[in-house]
Amino acid sequence: MRIIMACATMMALVVASAKAQNAATPAKDTVTDATIINLCGGRLVKMFAQCGTPQDLQVKRGDTPDEDDVLCVYGSYGFRVRDKVIRTCFFWSDWKGPIRGIKIGDTRENVVKVLGKAPSTDKDKDGAITAYGYDLKDLDADFFTNFDKDGKVWRVEVSLK
């Protein structure tokens, strides 16, 4: 009888712990562009607390083991992590909300209208503009808008300097 009671108590604790962990995982709709961007420079524990468990993890090998990263994918956004610190965040083409006032699918002209003239511009080998770069002094980070061949935003990334 004691063994049955001990097993039942253990099962109850496991279930209660699982429910508490699930309750602590925030809903996806509570995550905003500011939440994601402000996690840059933060630790993994903060990412898990604010965004929950990633849908996928991918290893991104660098030139040396010290440059290896882990990509934590949350569907329409994600984070690149090294040494338990978030180094970069991404907003991909299926992100629906604004990102510092711009949206995925915006034209280059609209990006300039909202964010101002870009301090840096990246071009491909043919001279087509592929990205605008902006300085986020408050985060000591760079904000990049990446453009597709039609000149529309397809990805936004924020990377620590």
Instruction: From 108, 117, 113, 154, select the one nearest 135 (Cα to Cα).
Output: 117
Q: Which of 6-10, 19-23, 43-47, 94-98 has the lowest mean pLDDT?
A: 6-10
Query: pLDDT-based confidence at 124, cuts 50/70/90?
Result: very high
Residue 7 predicted with pLDDT over 50:
no
pLDDT tens-digit map of 50-76? 999 999 999 999 899 888 999 999 999
Furthest C-alpha separation in the chain: 78
Residue 9 predicted with pLDDT over 60:
no
Q: Which residues have CB under 8 Å from 140's CB, separation 6+?
A: 41, 160, 161
In terms of Cβ atoms closer than 10 Å to its own Cβ (0-12, 13-18, 19+), residue 81 is buried
Which one has a higher pLDDT value, 100 or 26? 100
Backbone φ, ψ for residue 49 (5° rounding): -65, -40
Q: Which residues have CB under 8 Å from 14's CB, separation 6+?
A: none
Instruction: From 100, 99, 69, 98, select the one nearest 86 (Cα to Cα).
Output: 69
Q: How confident is the model at residue 18, as a pLDDT?
A: 41
Side-chain-side CA neighbours of residue 57 (13 Å): 7
Q: How confident is the model at residue 39, as a pLDDT?
A: 96
Query: pLDDT-based confidence at 17, cuts 50/70/90?
Result: very low
* Mean pLDDT of all residues belonging to the chain: 85
List of domains in the chain: 28-160 (3.40.33.10)
Q: How confident is the model at residue 29, as a pLDDT?
A: 54
Percent of the residues in the chain that have a pLDDT greater than 70, as a whole number: 82
